Amino acid sequence: MSGEKDPVGSLSEDVELLERHISILKTVKENQPVGLIRLSEMTGIPKHRVRYSLKLLEQQGIIHATPDGATVTDRYDGFISEISTYIDELAVRVEGLRKLL
């Protein structure tokens, strides 16, 4: 498999990233405003990974950086709803894959 991407590993990494984003986002919601270091301490996620997630979530307009730390925007509820629906749909597809095995 040299040079080929491992589809299972890639899927696992994508799920891990989504899990991290959701964890950070929910922690921001519950503790806003909250800074990078505190988020890292509260979630147990290394600072560089928290920084990356915050950057992506800010680019999507789901959080807002303030001098006192990150806060959620009015897009939070819609995003959580979309992610919940997406995860439910993925669960159905994964169950279908399981039946193929």
- Residue pLDDT, tens place only, 2-46: 556 676 678 888 889 999 999 999 999 999 999 999 999 999 999
- For the chain, which domains are there? 8-100 (1.10.10.10)
State whether residue 65 is helix, strand or coil: strand
- Tokens representing 82? 């979309």
Residue type, 40: S
Mean pLDDT (whole number) for 38-67: 96
pTM of the full predicted structure?
0.83
Torsion of CA 47, 22, 18, 56, to 10 degrees: -60
